[in-house]
Amino acid sequence: MSLPYFLTDDPAAGVLTGDEARHAHVKRIQPGERIMLIDGQGSAAEATVTRVDGQRVECDVVRQERFEHPTPRVTVVQAVPKGERAELAVDLAVQGGADAIVPWISHRTIARWPANKQAKQVAKWRAQALASAKQARRAWVPEVREPVTTNQLSDLLRDPRNEGHALVLHEDATESIREVEFGDEVWFIVGPEGGIGEDELELLQARPVKLGPEVLRTASAAFAGLCAIGALTARW
């Protein structure tokens, strides 16, 4: 049975405070139990709990471990789904191994994030990413970046560091993802419920690919794509 994961700035110190200490208390973690402490940046420590209360958890560190980033590094550009599907999309992307997630407000995105509510929505995505990373037993917590419009996404993809690494999942694509030769970086773009318009495809200049004959929901498409990339590369 895998150990429960908890986030802390310094796993080697063997201490939890704040929300993570309260979470351990709610989960009824007891002295003598073993847990994994992570910093979300690849460092982890297996530890034995020695003291628990609602404000602080203390542990004896048994061993420390460093997890390297898998290659290729995959950034998921997720068109914002409506309602509760947004958190589901983040949850599945994290389970699939996304290294970073970029919320995309596309031309056809149904769910709109007014400027005065964007910070709240991004905070929700980040909280979901953390919860999902711990549930998936990941030492790396994916970064959820600030939301972008189509024009802003186009600028990101034209950056020399990212140029030529973008794939867009599209139902009319003629090329299978199996035919892609992956480099060290991948930007995997998932469109909204209303689909990606031809004007956006032209603006983004991303490579259209398909996973199979089925049309996937926007909330689950990134997960399916990440699984394919994992199987086709050295990530898995």
Taking the chain (236 residues) in runs of 10, the rounded mean pLDDT of each run is: 93 96 94 97 97 94 95 96 91 98 90 84 96 96 96 91 84 93 95 88 94 91 97 94
Pick the CATH number of 5-66 from 2.30.30.30, 2.40.30.260, 3.30.70.580, 2.40.240.20: 2.40.240.20
Q: In CATH terms, are 5-66 and 73-232 the same topology?
A: no
Query: CA 191 → CA 121, 196, 224, distances in Å?
Result: 18, 6, 14
CB-CB contact of 57 with 24 (8 Å): yes
pLDDT at 105: 92
**Domain boundaries in the chain?**
5-66, 73-232
Q: What is the pLDDT of residues 51-96, one digit of tens each?
A: 998 899 999 999 999 999 999 999 999 999 988 899 999 999 999 9
Pick the CATH number of 73-232 from 3.30.420.10, 3.40.1280.10, 3.40.50.300, 3.20.20.140: 3.40.1280.10
What is the pLDDT of the chain when averaged over all its residues? 93
**Helix crossing, 85-96 with 118-135: angle to 10°?**
40
pLDDT at 57: 97
Q: What is the pLDDT of residues 208-226, one digit of tens each?
A: 999 988 889 999 999 999 9
- pTM recorded for the entire structure: 0.93
